[in-house]
Chains A and B, each alone.
Chain A
Amino acid sequence: MSVRLSEEERLERLREIREAYRTYPVIPYFKDEDELRWSLQHGNVDFIISSEDYTARTRGGIGFWRRTRPWGNASVGYIIRAPTIEHALGCVGRIVEMEKPRLIYFRVTTLDMPHPRVSYVDEAMRELDEIERELSLGNYIRRELHDC
């Protein structure tokens, strides 16, 4: 089932998507390592941590990381690849210690993370592409994509 939008609302939605895509995704924030471990164990690959209030307990950890685009309202972003979730948590702890107080976006993959692995950013971007495609064609949008 589709919903018909007025021309004004269609243009407004398209503008919003184009202008606000970086802050658009809802990305989970964590301040506790156990909460984060649980999320990773359920295949969620990305999250934000505030280095002020995150408590890291796992130390060390093998893995490598590199900078990436910070999503949401994070000011810095990292991709971490590690053999296990525990190693990844160690890397997260090291980055948090190393960084100045601020919000850090992480995207983590490890060999022991279950499938399907889900990125909140990728899913949000996929949905925005779909919305943009539908609205570029006309004034109708599928009900499940409509911001009711």
Chain B
Amino acid sequence: MTVSVDIIREAKRYYEEFRGDPPAAEEIVSDEDYAYVEYYRPMPVTFGFEIEQPDRKICQILRLTYEWHYDGSGPYETATPPGTYPGRKIKEFIDTCKRNPSCTWEWVSEMPHPRMEGRIVGCGSHIHFRPREDVEYIRREYLEAWTTAHNTLVECVPLVLPMFAWGRDGVFTFRREALYWARLVTRRLSPASMRRFLEPSYTGHPYESVALNKKTWEKPLTLELRLNETHPAIAYELAIILNRIIRKCFERGFVSPKMRDRLDTISKIEAAVRDSIEYEQNLYSMLEQVGPIRFIRGREIPGLDDEYENYLKLFDDILINYGHPYPPMARVCRLFLHRGEPWKNPHAVWNTFAPFGEFRWDQPEIPSM
């Protein structure tokens, strides 16, 4: 069964503000949606997700269907195995939750530390990327591919922060200790230093927003995005946007984006996030004050301008140019384009994979179909 041509045309018209490439085969979340594919370029990275929530939120069916464990950080967690079809894995997880009564829950971004009174630990959907060795052009330049993917994430993660946050205590902001457990990094790597982390003798998992993660010697190295505290449905779209940026950076000859005055810009972004957390201020309002943001000529985010008046103008342009006009991506991009707040949509986030025409955000002001 496929989606009809009329529905595709209508979806495309309805979400026409998004100009990104149409979905690739690997971004399709179910066989029914296969007709949306108009374009094929292999994804440059494999994906894995770690889903973390407080133990009491996880229903019995979910405990039996997925393998859950504690890794010492606090929340109960499960991992989707790494693969090139992240949408299918996330949809399968969400469908399992929706099929069974009382298996969906109100997502939370933090919980009390299990051993230390007064401390808070984060919950979320950490994303793991790994450049694909099975794609010929990536395998040929594997070291450059790792370095470019790392540097692209270091540069772009601070520019799409609203997609990482969930909200708490009635405010759209990050969890209280977000920057302690996942500080924003400014360091960019060279192939010479990346080689060191690809060696078998490296293990470790830095508490950084973009972390070279290899927890044990048996596990493969991944680029872990640790700041992510949001629902898997949003984490999935974020992963696709970052994947698309990485692909375009690979295609222009392994050249990652690079901001001008980047230390200063990242430090202003970090200060805005810190203030938003500390004073419980809306994250969008705080980030809007950061700017201008400029890129070194030739090292812009592919397809975007080299200068933006402020953070939100750049954020919107990323959504418009990397979001494609089909659900579920277009829905999630539209939520952020209209300054929606994930925590205000606790029911809708479980439905973003619904067919076109059968979806609404809980915030009525966000256009949705």
Measured between beta carbons, the chain A residues less than 8 angstroms from B216 are 35, 38
Q: Please determine whether B256 and A147 come into contact, CB atoms closer than 8 angstroms.
A: yes
The secondary structure that dominates the B interface is loop
> Assuming A26-B206, A28-B202, is B72 touching A53 (CB within 8 A)?
yes
Q: Please, which residue of chain B has its CB at the minimum distance from the CB of A47? A: B204
Measured between beta carbons, the chain A residues less than 8 angstroms from B188 are 16, 147
Q: How far is the CA of A147 from the CA of B152 in the complex (A)?
A: 10
Q: Please determine whether B204 and A148 come into contact, CB atoms closer than 8 angstroms.
A: no
Q: How far is the CA of A26 from the CA of B224 in the complex (A)?
A: 13
> Would you give the shortest CB distance from B8 to chain A, in whole angstroms?
38
Q: Please determine whether B116 and A101 come into contact, CB atoms closer than 8 angstroms.
A: yes
> Would you give the shortest CB distance from B194 to chain A, in whole angstroms?
9
Q: How far is the CA of A42 from the CA of B200 in the complex (A)?
A: 9
Give a binary string over A120-148; 1 marks a CB under 8 Å from any B CB, 0 the rest.
10011001000100000000000111111
Q: Which residues 203-218 in B have Cβ within 8 Å of A in the complex?
A: 203-208, 212, 215-217
> Would you give the shortest CB distance from A128 to chain B, in whole angstroms?
10
Give a binary string over A45-56; 1 marks a CB under 8 Å from any B CB, 0 the rest.
001101011010
Q: How far is the CA of A72 from the CA of B186 in the complex (A)?
A: 11
Give a binary string over B255-280; 1 marks a CB under 8 Å from any A CB, 0 the rest.
11010111100000000000000000
Find A38's partner among B116, B197, B217 (CB 8 Å cutoff): B217
> Assuming A20-B186, A35-B216, is B203 touching A145 (CB within 8 A)?
no
Q: Please determine whether A52 and B203 come into contact, CB atoms closer than 8 angstroms.
A: no
Q: Is A43 an interface residue (CB 8 A)?
A: yes
A-B residue pair count with CB separations less than 8 angstroms:
121
Q: How far is the CA of A44 from the CA of B115 in the complex (A)?
A: 29
Q: Please, which residue of chain A has its CB at the minimum distance from the CB of B256? A: A148
Q: How far is the CA of A73 from the CA of B207 in the complex (A)?
A: 9
Q: Please, which residue of chain A has its CB at the minimum distance from the CB of B73? A: A53
Q: How far is the CA of A32 from the CA of B299 in the complex (A)?
A: 40
Q: How far is the CA of A14 from the CA of B339 in the complex (A)?
A: 38
Q: Is B196 an interface residue (CB 8 A)?
A: yes
13 pairs, A vs B, C-beta closer than 8 Å: A12-B262, A20-B263, A23-B185, A23-B186, A28-B204, A29-B207, A31-B73, A38-B216, A72-B206, A101-B119, A127-B190, A147-B188, A148-B254
Residues of A within 8 A of B (CB): 6, 8-9, 12, 15-16, 19-20, 23-32, 35, 38-39, 42-44, 47-48, 50, 52-53, 55, 72-73, 101, 103, 118, 120, 123-124, 127, 131, 143-148
